[in-house]
Amino acid sequence: MNGGTVVAVSRDATHRFSKINQDGIRLLAGLGVEGDAHLGVTVQHLSRVAQDPTQPNLRQVHLMHAELFDELRTVGYEVAPGDLGENVTTRGLDLLGLPVGTRLRLGAEALVEITGLRNPCLQIDRFRTGLLKHVVGRDEAGDIVRKGGIMGIVLEGGEVRPGDAVLAELPAPPHRPLDRV
């Protein structure tokens, strides 16, 4: 098992880009973050609802690594937990390197299964001009690299607070790399 720490937790009851930091959030099994606009069994992201409102919600919880904020700071962007719309900000765990199906134990109770990568969109440039090119880029082979965090579904509910441990349990091989969801 690999591990890290929860740095911050955030939610917002309305569909805004950034989320509001909280002392704690409650994850609800099969639904997402209590009190968050993206809570639901079916997709809640507005662009996805417009395409097909009956799609399953594979984006119940958005997790992001605080190391991205450190990286962005080196190129002149001040970004704080919740600013990019994530519910859980972590440190010390390579979220982007985990395979599909990894289970993350957040605190003592909550269990989230990773479904894929967040696909950063133009809203990031509306938040900070030019930021998108630092959150989505290309590697040496020309393949797209998405750094905007990961998405998951809640398998077991529970409270999550800053300072909680995050433990990753990898699925059985063969591992599938994360792709946008």
3-state secondary structure of 50: helix
Q: How would you class 55 by CB atoms within 10 Å of its CB: exposed for 0-12, middle for 13-18, buried for 19 or more?
A: middle
CA–CA gap between residue 41 and residue 157 (Å, rounded) = 14
3-state secondary structure of 178: coil
Q: Is pLDDT above 90 for 120?
A: no
In a domain? residue 163: yes
In a domain? residue 62: yes
What is the pLDDT of the chain when averaged over all its residues? 95
Ramachandran angles phi, psi of 114, nearest 5°: -75, 130
Residues near 44 by Cβ (< 8 Å), separated by ≥ 6? 32, 37, 38, 57, 59
Structural domain of 86: 2-169
Q: What is the CATH number of the domain that holds 108?
A: 2.40.33.20
CA–CA gap between residue 80 and residue 25 (Å, rounded) = 18
Mean pLDDT of 116-142: 92
In a domain? residue 15: yes
pLDDT at 40: 95
CA–CA gap between residue 106 and residue 160 (Å, rounded) = 6
CA–CA gap between residue 65 and residue 99 (Å, rounded) = 15
In a domain? residue 174: no
CA angle 92, 97, 103 (to 5 degrees): 80
Give the count of domains, the chain: 1
Helices (H), 59-172: 66-74, 123-127, 132-135
Q: Is pLDDT above 80 for 156?
A: yes
Under 8 Å between Cβ of 138 and 147: no
pLDDT digits (tens, 9 = 90+) for 62-116: 999 999 999 999 999 999 999 999 999 999 999 999 999 999 999 999 999 999 9
In a domain? residue 176: no
CB neighbours (10 Å) of residue 85?
A: 24
In a domain? residue 59: yes
In a domain? residue 92: yes
In a domain? residue 178: no
